[in-house]
Amino acid sequence: MDNTLENDVSLAIGHRSLSDLETRLPLWPPISQQATASGTSYPVEVTYAYDRVDRQLFAQPPLPGLERWAPLLPPLAPGLSMAEGGTALVPAPELAAWAGLNGELFIKDESRNPTWSHKDRFNLCSVSVAVATGAPGVVLSSSGNHGASAAAYAARAGLSCIVLVSPDTPPAVQSFVQAYGAAVLAVPPAGSQTLIRQIVERLGYHFAHHSWGCEGYKTLAYEVFGQLGGRVPTAVFIPTSNAQLLFGVWKGFRELHELGVAASTPVMMACEPATRASHFRAIEANQDHVEIVEGPTIAYAIGSSVSSTLGLLALRQSSGVAVSILDDETQAAQVALAGRGMWQEASGAISLAGLRQVIAAGRRFDGPVVCVTCSSGFKDLGVGRDPAPASELEWGLVCRTLARHYGTQRALAEQLRPFLGA
């Protein structure tokens, strides 16, 4: 692949430290964000020549293809984009009622991206760095979504890709990553950062958890703003692990406001599984750093072993809240979403569970609320373990199965009665 980037379109001018907002750094060469032994990363964000942004950028329809937002993205590798983004914003009045929300609710369904998760927004930008720096490949640890997405973009760029997964990652998810030609290493998550560092240092690979990636998530905010006809949601609920998504979406809304395009900014709601809930715990304890917490959860995709300051920054700047959510609550949200035609991974459905929990706790919202759902239900633990038993071709089977599934539907029960006997 041609390793020149589309510098002329991007208005990116440099980097800014996120631990000391006054510290500015040049854009080139892109700062390599290697995994540290402590698992802490992402010290910088990209800065732009905002005075040169044409506000007409936000008047365009929110269609797929992130290159349409190129002025406010870091330089992208030409030909790498594959119509990511432009995902549906689904009006969800029934789910609003389910969650107890007296107002408008929209589901921003990120499972409709090329590799079926929001990570494609990230990897378009992150893999562009690998192209720019001439890295021979890309390396990362992942619970699946990030790995598949990085592998897909690496394949498009003609780069090799190494994905470290936990040994309990579902086999189908590993096949998903391998399908793009990536090498999968199933290794214990603890200590995997050291291996990544070695791959970066010894082989010159690009570490895919790069700060440029978060810039891709800003486009989700631009799209929501356009899809709501120029309105800003009152609150945005985001499934959160190490909070790159939370930070990126917040940054997009902040930019819209600072550019004078949007009248306000939303409150950002970080939705975390209770057994981890790193941001929730940090805020409860009034800490200025996030500690990695381990614990079992069905929302395994948001159990990152990397901590950063991104989430706390986004929560503080947006007057946001971190919500700690039990697996039962997440599962109920997953069922509710599927009941409206959207089968989401538990880690993605957690945003709707977060909304329901805060409403039950008495919180009110006086404008549209958006729940971001991140990925398809195909990736959950246990998927495929419950196939229908092979049976004979028999009318009685139809009746018994329908009665089991839909037995509470009175009209159907009446129809079936003559066939089922007493």
Ligand X SMILES: Cc1ncc(COP(=O)(O)O)c(C=O)c1O
Residues forming the site for ligand X (CB under 6 A): 117, 143, 145-146, 239-246, 301-302, 304, 345, 347-348, 374-375
Least separation in angstroms between residue 212's CB and ligand X is 14
- Taking the complex as a whole, the smallest distance from the CB of residue 198 to ligand X amounts, in Å, to 23
Task: Determine phi and psi for 324, rounding to 5 degrees.
Answer: -100, 120
> Minimum Å distance from CB 254 to ligand X?
17
Of 58 and 212, which has the nearer Cβ to ligand X? Answer: 212
Q: Which is nearer to ligand X, 68 or 118 (CB)?
A: 118
What does the alpha-carbon distance between residue 240 and residue 232 come to, in Å, rounded to a whole number? 21
Closer CB to ligand X, 80 or 302, in the complex: 302
The least CB distance from residue 401 to ligand X, in Å, is 32
Q: How far is the CB of 278 from ligand X (least distance, A)?
A: 10
Backbone angles phi, psi at 14, to 5 degrees: 180, -165
Please, which residue, 58 or 210, has the CB nearer to ligand X? 210
Q: Least Å distance between CB 320 and ligand X?
A: 13
The residue among 190 and 397 lying less far from ligand X, judged by its C-beta, is 190
The residue (of 150 and 245) whose beta carbon lies closer to ligand X is 245
Q: Of 246, 265, 268, 269, nearest to 255 (Cα)?
A: 265
- CA dist 364 to 103, 337, 357, Å? 9, 21, 12
Compute the least distance from the CB of residue 348 to ligand X, in Å: 5
State the minimum distance, in angstroms, from the CB of residue 215 to ligand X: 13
Shorter beta-carbon distance to ligand X: residue 6 or 327: 327
Instruction: State which residue, 301 or 323, has the beta carbon closest to ligand X.
Output: 301
- Rounded CA gap, 81 and 156, in Å? 9
Q: With the CA atoms of 373, 78, 31 and 110 taken in that order, what torsion angle do they form, in degrees rounded to the nearest 10?
A: 0
